[in-house]
Copies of this chain bind each other. A is one copy, B any other.
Amino acid sequence: MDVYKKRVELSLEEYVEGVRSNNRAVLARAITLVESNAARHFSMAQDVLTSVIPQTGNSIRIGITGVPGAGKSTFIEAFGLKLAEQGHRVAVLAVDPSSSLSQGSILGDKTRMDQLSRHPNAFVRPSPAGGNLGGVARKTRETLLLCEAAGYDIIMVETVGVGQSEVTVRSMVDCFIVLMLTGAGDELQGMKKGIMEMVDIMLINKADGTNRQAAEQAKVEFKRMFHMLPSVTEGWETEIDTVSALTGRGISECWETIERFHQHMKNTQQFELRRKEQATNWFHSLLEEQILKRFYDYPFIKSQLPDVKKDVLLGKSSATRAVSLLLQEYEQKIYNN
C-alpha cells in the first residue's frame, strides 16, 4: 500500500480503486490531482471523477457559515468527532477563495481540528490554495464527489460568512447552517446581506457559563425574525438552537435536527429537486465562468476594456453603445484570426 505514498504516477484504475476503497493516501492524491492547475493533470482528474460518479450522491451535504469568531472550527471539530464516534464517516472541506492572500484562513492552519483530522472515520481537507471563487468552488465540488465515492456519508463544507462564497456553498449543499454568537444583533452587521434568507438551521454557539442566558434570549429574538422571513426550504421554518462546542451541550441535538430536516426534504421531494438544481447550477456556472474568463483573458479585450469602461463611467459614451462597439471589434478579431 505504501506504493501510493511514493511519487510514482498512479494509473486510472489505481486512483479509482483507491478512492472507492477509501485508501486515504490515494483519496488525498486524487484531490491533489483535482486541485492541480497543471494541464497534464486535468485529463486524469476528470477520468477519475467520471469513473466514480456512480458511487457519488450518498451523503448529506451540509454547509456551515458564520462570522469570524463564531467558533466554526471548534464546533465542526466537536460535532464531527461526535458523529465519527457514532460510526459516521465525516469529511470536512472548506471554500475560502482568499486563502492564498489572508493569513489564518479557514482550515488553513494545520493545527486546527487536530483531533478530528486524526480520527479514522474523518477526513479533513483545507481550502484549495489560491485562485478565484469559481476555481475554488469547482475544486471543492469535485473533492466532495471524491469523498462521497470514498464512502463518507456526512460532508461538511465550511465557509466564512462575509462574501459571495456563501451563495456558492448554499448551491452545493442540502442543508445550510449559520453559526452565531450569543450577543444577538450587532455581529450580524458584519455578515453579507442575504445570508439569513438562505439558512435552514441557526446555531447560537458559546452558550455556556454566563453566556447561556443571553444565548437563550437571542434564540427567542431570532425565532421572531425567522418567523417573518420567507423560508428557503418549503415547509421548514429555520430552526434555532443554542450549543456549546466547549462543553458539548446541544451537539448531539444538532444531528437530530439535521436528520429531521433531511427527512422533511425527502418527504416533500425537495431533496431530489435540490440535488438536481445543484447539478444544473454547477454545469451552468462552470460553463459561463469559462466563457467569461476566455473573453476577459483575450489580449484585445484586456488592452481595450479599461479605456472603454472609463469612457462609460465618465459619460463619454452610453454603456450600450460602448459594449456594442467592443463586441463588434472583438468578433471581427476572432473571426479573422
Interface residues of A (CB under 8 A from B): 42, 46, 49-50, 53-54, 56, 138, 142, 184-185, 188-194, 196-198, 221-222, 224-225, 227-232, 276, 279-280, 282-283, 286-288, 290-292, 294-295, 309, 312-313, 315-324, 326-327, 331, 334-335, 337
Partner of A334, one of B194, B222, B232, B334: B334
Report if A323-B283 is in contact (Cβ < 8 Å); known contacts: A184-B228, A291-B292, A318-B49: yes
User: In the complex, what residues of B have CB within 8 A of residue A190's CB?
Assistant: 230
B197 touches A279 (CB 8 A): no
* Listed residue (A54, A138, A184, A315) with the most chain B CB atoms within 10 angstroms of its CB: A315
Task: Choose one: B188, B228, B230; the contact of A193 (CB below 8 Å).
Answer: B230
- Cα separation A190 to B321 with both chains bound (whole Å): 38
Closest to A222 in B: B228
Copies in the complex: 2
In the complex, the answer to whether A321 meets B228 with C-beta atoms within 8 Å is no
B residues near A196, Cβ cutoff 8 Å: 197, 229-230
A288 touches B292 (CB 8 A): yes
Residues in B with CB closer than 8 Å to A232 are 193
Chain B neighbourhood of A227, CB < 8 A: 185
Nearest-CB residue, chain B, relative to A224? B224
Q: Are the CB atoms of B321 and A50 closer together than 8 Å?
A: yes
Q: How far is the CB of A104 from chain B (nearest CB, A)?
A: 24
- Assuming the contacts A196-B197, A197-B197, A327-B290, asked whether A319 and B283 have C-beta atoms less than 8 A apart, the reply is yes
Whether B318 contacts A53 by the Cβ 8 Å rule is yes
